[in-house]
Amino acid sequence: MKYLNPEDYLQATCAMPVVDVRSPAEFEAGHVTGAISIPLFADDERAIVGTIYKQQGKKDAIEKGLEIVGPKMAALAKQAEEAASDGALGVYCWRGGMRSNRMAWLFEQVGLNCTVLDGGYKAYRNTVLNGFSSLENLIVIDGPTGSGKTDILHALKDAGEQILDLEGIANHKGSAFGNIGLPKQPSSQQFQNDLFNELQKLNPEKRIWIEREGMTIGRVYLPQPLWEKMRVSTAVAISVPMELRVERLVNDYGQASHTDLEKSIRKLQQKLGGQHMNTALELLDENRLAEVAELLLHYYDKRYSFSKEKYLDMKPFSVDLNSNDADENANQLIALANKEKL
């Protein structure tokens, strides 16, 4: 059995299955990206043991834990054997204490080689957040709603550039309409963990393109250190004609159900105003989608003008884009970055 700090653990287990032995609720709140849940205790069992620990002490809690786990040991070991690859397995719990130690011991009794995360998930989370603090070479793509920033980001990746796709990892496009057609969002912790996992695949010595976001994307929060880095990083502000932005929004959301579009418009009532919201709903009922998009873009443009001063500390490079061709636009940004040695 080996005990490794988070950095060494992640490197050692990159090609190895990793098992989270915490309760299902803990796992759901956030886990090491790609981990498999094999809980020592169910949620209610963990609550029982925790209550006994507080009221009666450690010895009684351990005895209750053994009573609960005893009948499940064979099943737990079997799950571990099925999860392992070439007889190897990473294991972790909350603090790298009793749960991971006991489970790793059990797994090794059936012939597995276990690597335990020293400090547990808590130490891993500290590593995640600290990992964003050291980020350099970011280029932030800034621009109003409908500019095609996400498509440009993907085109940059296709062209060999490094990117961090915040909205893709968050399962949200960042507006009141951002959840339409997308899976459920992860928890904020899981979003940050998955983002850190993607960051680990990139070369920190080379530029990394990222889309400008506020502190939240839908219901998830950016890591504070990353948000602070984005504010002081090099930025490229793109400008796209209104007619192209309207065209993009109609293409992106025109196939969504009337119900989904109406719900999203109603979310904007307080900021859009009742009169403008009612006008947008009337246009939607008449399937005049381009007019709906243009009306909403005027609202989003006001919001963008207000927020860009708040979220960017450095004056951005400005680029006028006159096409909805993401590849063409990405090439313009690459040419700028090369010229300015960004």
CA–CA separation, 226 and 150 (whole Å): 18
163 and 69 assigned to the same domain: no
Rounded to the nearest 10°, the torsion over CA 294, 299, 300, 301 is 90
**Cα(56)–Cα(63) distance, integer angstroms:** 11
Q: Per the residue annotation, which of 93, 116, 139, 166 is the catalytic one?
A: 93
Same structural domain, 78 and 32: yes
Residue 174 sits in the same domain as residue 280: yes
For residue 5, list its beta bridge partners.
Answer: none
The number of folded domains in the chain is 2
DSSP 8-class letter at 71: G
**Alpha-carbon gap, residue 256 to 176, rounded angstroms:** 14
Asked if 230 and 311 count as a contact pair (C-beta separation under 8 A), the reply is yes
Domain identity same for 100 and 18 = yes
pLDDT for res 107:
97
Please report where in the chains the tokens 């930025």 appear, as a residue.
235
Out of 99, 128, 157, pick the residue that ends a domain. Answer: 128
Give the pLDDT score at 72.
Answer: 95
142 and 117 inside one domain: no
Instruction: Say how far apart CA 239 and CA 275 lie, in whole Å.
Output: 29
**Do 193 and 118 lie in a common domain?**
no
Shortest CA distance to 265 belongs to which of 242, 299, 241? 299
CATH code (residue 96): 3.40.250.10
CB distance 284 to 204 below 8 Å: no
Same domain, 222 and 305: yes
Q: Which domain holds residue 192?
A: 136-340
For residues 186 and 240, state if they share a domain: yes
From 105, 128, 151, the end of a domain falls on 128
CATH number of the domain that 219 lies in?
A: 3.40.50
Tens-digit pLDDT profile for the chain (342 aa)? 999 999 999 999 999 999 999 999 999 999 999 999 999 999 999 999 999 999 999 899 999 999 999 999 999 999 999 999 999 999 999 999 899 999 999 999 999 999 999 999 999 999 999 999 888 899 999 999 899 999 999 999 999 999 999 999 999 988 778 788 889 999 999 999 999 999 999 999 999 999 998 899 999 999 999 999 998 999 999 999 999 999 999 998 988 899 999 998 898 888 778 888 899 999 999 999 999 999 989 888 887 776 666 666 678 899 999 999 999 999 999 999 999 999
How far is the C-alpha of 253 from the C-alpha of 244, rounded, in Å? Answer: 14
Strand 18-20 and strand 2-4: pairing? Answer: unpaired
Query: Based on the domain organization, do 80 and 177 belong to the same domain?
Result: no
Per DSSP, 221 falls in state E
Q: Say whether both 68 and 151 belong to one domain.
A: no
Residue spans of beta strands (DSSP E) within the chain: 2-4, 18-20, 36-37, 88-92, 113-117, 138-142, 162-164, 208-211, 216-217, 220-221, 234-239, 317-320
Report which secondary-structure segment, H or E, holds 329.
helix 326-340
Query: Of the residues 98, 128, 158, which one is the last residue of a structural domain?
Result: 128
Residue whose pair of structure tokens reads 């300015």 in the numeric block: 340
Residue with tokens 């443009």: 301
**Residue 93 annotated to the active site:** yes
Let me know: does 237 contact 143? Beta carbons within 8 Å: yes
Residues 77 and 148 in one domain: no
Kindly state whether residues 300 and 166 are assigned to the same domain. Answer: yes
